């Protein structure tokens, strides 16, 4: 077998995708630390406690129930839908892209009655449509995706909270692509269940889905009349493993938790506000450069654009997949395309976590200019880089005025 399978040597890619993002060497080093058991006193006490303290800071919450689930972000969706919903309940799910649609599909596998409130791809769901859909109904859950990374649309969570209040409903939010990259304040915004993914703006390896549950959300889960459909994603049992009891539930991915702890430490060192501003500055510069090159944003309304992911339309006559492949082959840069109804129609550029850096923006723009020129698309020479540099200068001037 060893004659046919060589040493594992992955290519050194710059991950400018909606996830996963490139990982900082500090996080790799943490992941290589000595293995201990998941019931080791050091792990149960110091390690898990520190992860929870740091994670509450990132979510901006005092919620007791705050911990990483051993799963991808899709597992976070599963936990957030299966735990509060049971037979006789009703929920409204905002659907405006592939991942909010996944939330709806998972919710529809519960016995609850689910109503999809939709918006066209490229737009956020209108709070008035949500309000109309819930009128006269007893709604238990309003579900929404903060950053729909399949389209790069950001949703107005504060407006959804107002609607949820009027309906007496829990607000459940997917912030897989936004946590630590876009402003989110779980306690101030009164989000009842909020979950994310480790591999996006946190820049840790994939495999963990951090989640936090408000006291109201926890009460709703504990007051269920029936058991949660999933044993693994039943938060009433994982709460006990991550709670004071530290009752065995499953064997977590210990090296991933080492890495996750270091990623959270790096967020704390930088400061959330500074981190959000770094993401804003790089997104503005990248978008300015892309537009100067003749590319159009997919999301027309600036107020509905994500900070961590930017989608641009593939120009007529350009083979979007060929552009992606050439960036990969010649420059080791990976960007993402669209999928589903947007396949071949958009590119999605992720600037999140460790990859949200000025040097990466100023590397992407000229390489993309070269590839587009090879494809026959006319790009004003150097326009993208020049626009990005102007944007950075304006950001520094604005910061100095403050």
Residue 245 tokens read as 């009891």
d(CA 323, CA 58): 36
Residues 238 and 209 occupy one common structural domain:
yes
Per-residue pLDDT tens digits for 16-60: 999 999 999 999 999 999 999 888 888 887 778 899 999 999 999
d(CA 372, CA 401): 38
| CA trace torsion 255, 258, 263, 265 (10° rounding) | 180
User: Is 3 inside any structural domain?
Assistant: no
Cβ distance 335 to 308 under 8 Å?
no
Residues 110 and 232 occupy one common structural domain:
yes
d(CA 172, CA 86): 15
Neighbours of 74 (CB within 10 A): 16
Cβ distance 203 to 279 under 8 Å?
no
Per-residue pLDDT tens digits for 203-236: 999 999 999 999 999 999 999 999 999 999 999 8
Cβ distance 177 to 279 under 8 Å?
no
Residue 204 tokens read as 């840790």
User: Is 279 inside any structural domain?
Assistant: yes
> pTM of the predicted model, to two decimals?
0.95
Residues 249 and 338 occupy one common structural domain:
no
Cβ distance 94 to 234 under 8 Å?
no
Residues 198 and 233 occupy one common structural domain:
yes
User: Is 10 inside any structural domain?
Assistant: no
DSSP class of residue 367 equals H
What backbone phi and psi angles, to 5 degrees, belong to 233?
-95, 15
Q: Give residue 401's pLDDT band: very low, low, confident or very high (50, 70, 90).
A: low
- Residue span of the structural domain in which 48 resides: 25-269
131: burial class by Cβ within 10 Å (0-12, 13-18, 19+)?
A: middle
Listed residues 215, 236, 269: the one ending a domain: 269
Residues 289 and 254 occupy one common structural domain:
no
Residues 211 and 275 occupy one common structural domain:
no
Residue 158 tokens read as 């504060």
Cβ distance 351 to 308 under 8 Å?
yes
Cβ distance 339 to 371 under 8 Å?
no
User: Is 158 inside any structural domain?
Assistant: yes
**Among 68-72, 113-117, 122-126, 185-189, the least confident range:** 68-72
CATH of the domain at 327: 3.90.1150.10
Residues 90 and 139 occupy one common structural domain:
yes
Per-residue pLDDT tens digits for 271-281: 999 999 999 99
Q: Are strands 90-95 and 113-118 parallel, antiparallel or unpaired?
A: parallel
Q: Based on the structure, what is the number of domains in the chain? A: 2
Listed residues 220, 252, 269: the one ending a domain: 269
């Amino acid at each position: 077998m060893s004659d046919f399978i060589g040493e594992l040597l992955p290519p050194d890619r710059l991950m400018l995708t909606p996830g996963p993002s490139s990982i900082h060497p500090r996080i790799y080093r943490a992941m290589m630390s000595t293995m201990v058991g998941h019931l080791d006193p050091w792990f149960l006490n110091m390690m898990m406690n520190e992860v929870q303290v740091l994670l509450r800071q990132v979510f901006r919450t005092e919620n007791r129930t705050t911990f990483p689930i051993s799963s991808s972000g899709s597992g976070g969706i599963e936990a957030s839908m299966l735990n509060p919903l049971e037979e006789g309940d009703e929920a409204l799910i905002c659907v405006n892209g592939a991942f909010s649609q996944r939330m709806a599909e998972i919710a529809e596998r519960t016995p609850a009655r689910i109503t999809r409130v939709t918006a066209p791809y490229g737009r956020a769901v209108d709070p008035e449509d949500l309000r109309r859909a819930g009128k006269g109904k007893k709604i238990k859950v309003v579900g929404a995706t903060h950053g729909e990374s399949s389209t790069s649309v950001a949703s107005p969570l504060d407006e959804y909270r107002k609607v949820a209040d009027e309906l007496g409903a829990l607000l459940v939010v997917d912030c897989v692509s936004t946590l630590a990259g876009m402003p989110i304040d779980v306690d101030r915004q009164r989000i009842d269940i909020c979950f994310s993914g480790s591999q996006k703006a946190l820049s840790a390896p994939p495999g963990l889905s951090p989640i936090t549950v408000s006291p109201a959300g926890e009460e709703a889960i504990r007051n269920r009349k029936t058991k949660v459909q999933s044993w693994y994603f039943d938060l009433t049992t994982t709460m006990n493993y991550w709670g004071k009891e530290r009752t065995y539930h499953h064997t977590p991915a210990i090296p991933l938790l080492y890495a996750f702890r270091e990623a959270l430490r790096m967020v704390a060192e930088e400061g959330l506000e500074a981190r959000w501003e770094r993401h804003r500055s790089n997104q503005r510069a990248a978008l300015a450069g892309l537009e100067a090159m003749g590319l159009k944003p997919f999301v027309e309304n600036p107020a509905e654009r994500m900070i961590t992911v930017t989608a641009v339309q593939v120009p007529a006559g350009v083979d979007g997949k060929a552009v992606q492949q050439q960036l990969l082959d010649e420059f080791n840069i990976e960007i993402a395309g669209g999928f589903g109804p947007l396949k071949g129609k958009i590119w999605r550029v992720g600037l999140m976590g460790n990859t949200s850096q000025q040097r990466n923006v100023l590397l992407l723009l000229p390489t993309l200019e070269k590839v587009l020129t090879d494809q026959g698309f006319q790009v004003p020479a150097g326009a993208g880089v020049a626009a990005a540099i102007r944007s950075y200068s304006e950001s520094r001037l604005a910061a100095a005025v403050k």
